[in-house]
Amino acid sequence: MASPEKKADHYLAIHEGQEHALELRENGSESSHVLTFDGQPHTIDAVFLEGGTWSLLIDGESYEVDIDADATKAERLTVAVRGHRFAVEVLDEHRQRMRSASGGFEVEGRAEVLAPMPGKVVKVLVAVGDSVAEGEGLLVVEAMKMENELKAPKDGTVAEVRVEAGDTVDGGLCLAVIE
Protein backbone atom coordinates (compact mmCIF):
# COMPACT_ATOMS: atom_id res chain seq x y z
CA MET A 1 0.00 0.00 0.00
CA ALA A 2 1.45 3.39 -0.99
CA SER A 3 2.08 5.87 1.79
CA PRO A 4 0.03 9.05 1.70
CA GLU A 5 1.65 11.95 -0.12
CA LYS A 6 3.06 14.58 2.22
CA LYS A 7 1.57 18.06 2.15
CA ALA A 8 3.69 20.64 0.39
CA ASP A 9 4.57 23.97 2.02
CA HIS A 10 4.50 26.96 -0.31
CA TYR A 11 6.73 30.02 0.03
CA LEU A 12 7.59 33.16 -1.86
CA ALA A 13 11.27 34.15 -1.85
CA ILE A 14 12.19 37.71 -2.80
CA HIS A 15 15.78 38.55 -3.75
CA GLU A 16 16.79 41.87 -5.32
CA GLY A 17 13.16 42.61 -6.20
CA GLN A 18 12.63 39.29 -8.00
CA GLU A 19 9.94 36.93 -6.69
CA HIS A 20 10.50 33.17 -6.76
CA ALA A 21 7.86 30.53 -6.04
CA LEU A 22 9.04 27.74 -3.72
CA GLU A 23 7.32 24.48 -2.87
CA LEU A 24 8.86 22.22 -0.22
CA ARG A 25 7.71 18.62 0.19
CA GLU A 26 9.14 15.92 2.47
CA ASN A 27 10.75 13.11 0.48
CA GLY A 28 10.70 10.00 2.66
CA SER A 29 12.40 11.38 5.79
CA GLU A 30 12.57 14.55 7.85
CA SER A 31 15.95 15.48 6.35
CA SER A 32 15.11 14.73 2.70
CA HIS A 33 12.93 17.07 0.64
CA VAL A 34 12.00 17.99 -2.87
CA LEU A 35 12.26 21.75 -3.36
CA THR A 36 10.55 23.11 -6.45
CA PHE A 37 12.08 26.49 -7.28
CA ASP A 38 10.27 28.44 -10.01
CA GLY A 39 8.87 25.15 -11.35
CA GLN A 40 12.21 23.25 -11.30
CA PRO A 41 12.36 20.35 -8.79
CA HIS A 42 15.55 19.74 -6.77
CA THR A 43 16.29 16.96 -4.28
CA ILE A 44 17.65 18.32 -1.00
CA ASP A 45 19.04 16.57 2.06
CA ALA A 46 19.45 19.01 4.95
CA VAL A 47 21.16 18.64 8.31
CA PHE A 48 21.28 21.49 10.84
CA LEU A 49 24.77 21.81 12.30
CA GLU A 50 24.76 24.70 14.81
CA GLY A 51 24.59 28.48 15.03
CA GLY A 52 22.41 28.85 11.95
CA THR A 53 24.61 26.64 9.73
CA TRP A 54 23.10 23.96 7.52
CA SER A 55 24.79 21.20 5.57
CA LEU A 56 22.86 20.76 2.33
CA LEU A 57 23.13 18.17 -0.41
CA ILE A 58 21.29 19.68 -3.41
CA ASP A 59 20.94 17.39 -6.43
CA GLY A 60 24.06 15.55 -5.22
CA GLU A 61 26.20 18.68 -4.71
CA SER A 62 27.32 19.64 -1.18
CA TYR A 63 26.85 23.14 0.29
CA GLU A 64 27.42 24.66 3.72
CA VAL A 65 24.92 27.47 4.21
CA ASP A 66 24.80 30.05 7.01
CA ILE A 67 21.45 31.66 7.63
CA ASP A 68 21.03 34.76 9.81
CA ALA A 69 17.50 35.96 10.53
CA ASP A 70 16.84 39.68 10.91
CA ALA A 71 15.71 40.08 14.51
CA THR A 72 13.25 42.82 13.53
CA LYS A 73 11.62 40.97 10.61
CA ALA A 74 11.57 37.18 10.95
CA GLU A 75 11.01 36.67 7.23
CA ARG A 76 14.18 38.60 6.24
CA LEU A 77 17.25 36.41 6.01
CA THR A 78 20.88 36.79 5.10
CA VAL A 79 22.15 33.63 3.44
CA ALA A 80 25.88 32.97 3.00
CA VAL A 81 26.91 30.31 0.48
CA ARG A 82 30.46 29.73 -0.75
CA GLY A 83 31.64 33.21 0.17
CA HIS A 84 28.63 35.03 -1.25
CA ARG A 85 25.99 36.75 0.89
CA PHE A 86 22.38 37.19 -0.22
CA ALA A 87 19.55 39.16 1.39
CA VAL A 88 16.35 37.18 0.95
CA GLU A 89 12.83 37.69 2.17
CA VAL A 90 10.85 34.46 2.57
CA LEU A 91 7.10 34.52 3.04
CA ASP A 92 5.06 31.49 4.03
CA GLU A 93 1.44 31.18 2.86
CA HIS A 94 0.10 33.11 5.86
CA ARG A 95 2.56 35.98 5.38
CA GLN A 96 1.74 36.05 1.66
CA ARG A 97 -1.97 36.46 2.47
CA MET A 98 -1.15 39.18 5.00
CA ARG A 99 1.11 40.93 2.46
CA SER A 100 -1.74 40.84 -0.02
CA ALA A 101 -4.15 42.15 2.60
CA SER A 102 -1.91 45.08 3.44
CA GLY A 103 -1.47 46.10 -0.18
CA GLY A 104 1.87 44.39 -0.75
CA PHE A 105 5.17 46.12 -0.20
CA GLU A 106 4.29 49.34 -2.01
CA VAL A 107 5.26 51.97 0.55
CA GLU A 108 4.91 55.18 -1.45
CA GLY A 109 1.72 57.17 -1.16
CA ARG A 110 -1.58 55.75 0.03
CA ALA A 111 -1.72 52.12 1.21
CA GLU A 112 -5.00 50.27 1.70
CA VAL A 113 -5.20 47.50 4.29
CA LEU A 114 -7.52 44.78 2.96
CA ALA A 115 -9.27 41.89 4.71
CA PRO A 116 -7.33 38.74 3.71
CA MET A 117 -10.52 36.65 3.85
CA PRO A 118 -14.08 36.93 5.15
CA GLY A 119 -14.25 37.33 8.91
CA LYS A 120 -15.21 39.48 11.87
CA VAL A 121 -13.34 42.53 13.17
CA VAL A 122 -12.41 41.72 16.77
CA LYS A 123 -10.41 44.86 17.65
CA VAL A 124 -9.51 48.18 16.10
CA LEU A 125 -6.11 49.15 17.50
CA VAL A 126 -5.76 52.62 15.90
CA ALA A 127 -7.78 55.73 15.19
CA VAL A 128 -7.76 58.24 12.34
CA GLY A 129 -4.80 60.58 12.78
CA ASP A 130 -2.61 58.08 14.66
CA SER A 131 1.00 57.80 13.52
CA VAL A 132 2.00 54.20 12.85
CA ALA A 133 5.25 52.40 12.07
CA GLU A 134 5.59 49.71 9.44
CA GLY A 135 4.60 46.38 11.02
CA GLU A 136 2.54 47.97 13.80
CA GLY A 137 -0.82 46.30 14.46
CA LEU A 138 -3.88 48.13 13.10
CA LEU A 139 -6.80 45.71 13.40
CA VAL A 140 -7.52 42.18 14.52
CA VAL A 141 -9.78 40.10 12.27
CA GLU A 142 -11.08 36.65 13.23
CA ALA A 143 -11.37 34.25 10.33
CA MET A 144 -11.78 30.47 10.50
CA LYS A 145 -11.50 30.58 14.32
CA MET A 146 -8.08 32.27 14.13
CA GLU A 147 -7.28 35.86 15.02
CA ASN A 148 -5.11 37.68 12.46
CA GLU A 149 -3.50 40.99 13.31
CA LEU A 150 -3.34 43.19 10.22
CA LYS A 151 -0.28 45.40 10.29
CA ALA A 152 0.74 48.72 8.80
CA PRO A 153 2.46 48.15 5.45
CA LYS A 154 4.52 51.32 5.93
CA ASP A 155 5.28 54.18 8.29
CA GLY A 156 2.59 56.82 8.07
CA THR A 157 -0.62 58.27 9.42
CA VAL A 158 -3.96 56.48 9.67
CA ALA A 159 -6.12 58.35 7.13
CA GLU A 160 -9.20 56.13 7.37
CA VAL A 161 -10.58 53.33 9.51
CA ARG A 162 -13.60 51.93 7.69
CA VAL A 163 -14.73 49.32 10.23
CA GLU A 164 -15.56 48.92 13.91
CA ALA A 165 -15.14 46.00 16.31
CA GLY A 166 -17.95 43.53 15.66
CA ASP A 167 -18.26 44.27 11.93
CA THR A 168 -18.40 41.31 9.56
CA VAL A 169 -16.16 41.82 6.51
CA ASP A 170 -15.73 40.20 3.10
CA GLY A 171 -12.30 39.17 1.83
CA GLY A 172 -10.64 41.98 -0.10
CA LEU A 173 -12.64 44.73 1.63
CA CYS A 174 -10.60 47.85 2.47
CA LEU A 175 -10.50 48.13 6.27
CA ALA A 176 -8.09 51.04 6.74
CA VAL A 177 -5.92 53.46 4.78
CA ILE A 178 -2.39 54.59 5.70
CA GLU A 179 -0.86 57.70 4.12
For the segment 110-132, what is each residue's pLDDT rounded down to a tens digit? 888 888 778 899 999 999 999 99
What is the CATH topology of the domain spanning 9-92? Glycoprotein, Type 4 Pilin (3.30.700)
Cα–Cα separations (whole angstroms), residue 97 to 16, 113, 172: 21, 12, 11
The model's pLDDT over 120-169, given as tens digits with 9 standing for 90+, comes to 999 999 999 999 988 888 999 888 778 888 888 788 999 999 999 999 99
Q: What pTM was estimated for this model as a whole?
A: 0.51
Render 40-91 in DSSP notation, one character per residue: EEEEEEEEE-STTEEEEEETTEEEEEEEEEETTEEEEEEEEETTEEEEEEEE
In sequence order, which ranges of the chain are alpha helices (DSSP H)?
Answer: 93-101
What is the CATH topology of the domain spanning 107-178? OB fold (Dihydrolipoamide Acetyltransferase, E2P) (2.40.50)
If one counts every other C-beta atom within 10 angstroms of the C-beta of residue 46, the result is 16
User: Where do you find CATH 3.30.700.30 in the chain?
Assistant: 9-92
Q: Are 68 and 52 in contact (CB under 8 A)?
A: yes
User: Where do you find CATH 2.40.50.100 in the chain?
Assistant: 107-178
